[in-house]
Amino acid sequence: MKKIILVGLPLILLLTSCATIISGTTAKVNVSTSDGEPAYANVDGQKYYINGPTEVKVKRGYKKSVISAENEKSRGSVDVNKTFNPTTLWNILLGGIPGLAIDGATGAITKPSSSYYTIFMQPKDVQKKQEPTERVSRDAPGRTDLEKTIIRWYFDSEPRGARVFWRVVSSVPAEVKNTNELYLGTTPYEDTRSFNILGLTYENSRDVQIEIKLVRPGYMDQIKRFNVRQAIDQQEISSFFDLVEK
């Protein structure tokens, strides 16, 4: 009887660590360069050759991963942030705590926040941008192409059907003004559209955030903020919202 228990315990722990078994400790994402040129990439210590959209493996875990790429003329990188892996919820049905502990320890409890990333490539001979001598202001916009930056917007929720609103939150209101909420659509929402943030420059984009709010009757409103500089570098704003009933 003791032998059966000793043999059975590891088996139970194995079966209840669902995310670790099903998802593994790495996740597959697609990556490409912003200029479409082939490049050699490094992802969590693994090397890849990127020529068009290429599938790479990213480590799961609590720390962000960095995908860097380089060719003869340019180089660039993009951060891969992690979010909750819903596969872990199966542990609740299959035993609970042991499986959750294993998934937490292996990092399988997380997954990349997006399945597609674009590496923003810059020429190697371009020096670091200096702060402009004449700052753009919200009263004199239209001096920079960054105001019209086009990126991918993607938001989903559980349950779906939540209304999505966005607004600009600026800590430099003399250059980029705060805005009222604007309606985007309902989840799942996906679009390729511009910021249209007047006065935005690459230098002040680190001081500007995009606030996304989800609203659904019977559920609590949820708000997340995204740094515009990071959104420009990643060429997307995306997130999943797990709505909570009131």
User: How far apart are the C-alpha atoms of 169 and 173, rounded to whole Å?
Assistant: 9
Tokens at 232, concatenated: 């420009």
Helices and strands, counts by H and E, the chain: 5, 17
Two tokens at 61? 């875990």
Taking only Cα atoms into account, the Rg of the chain, rounded to an integer number of angstroms, comes to: 22
pLDDT digits (tens, 9 = 90+) for 16-28: 444 444 445 788 8
pLDDT at 35: 81
CA 221 vs. chain centroid, Å, equals 21
Rounded to an integer, what distance in angstroms lies between the CA atom of residue 58 and that of residue 53? 15
Per residue in 23-77, pLDDT tens? 457 888 898 888 888 999 999 888 999 898 899 999 877 677 889 999 988 888 8
The average pLDDT across 220-241 equals 90
Going by the DSSP 8-state scheme, the letter that residue 150 receives in this structure is E
Q: 157 falls in which pLDDT band (50, 70, 90)? A: very high
CA distance 114 to 154: 9
Share of residues in the chain with pLDDT > 70 (%): 69
* CA distance linking residue 197 with residue 168, whole number of Å: 8
Percent of the chain past pLDDT 90, that is, above it, reads 31
Q: Which of residues 48 and 11 earns the better pLDDT score?
A: 48
pLDDT given at position 229: 86
Cα separation, 78 vs 231, whole angstroms:
10
Give the pLDDT band of residue 101 (cuts 50, 70, 90).
very low
Q: What angle do CA 238, 215, 153 make, to 5 degrees?
A: 20
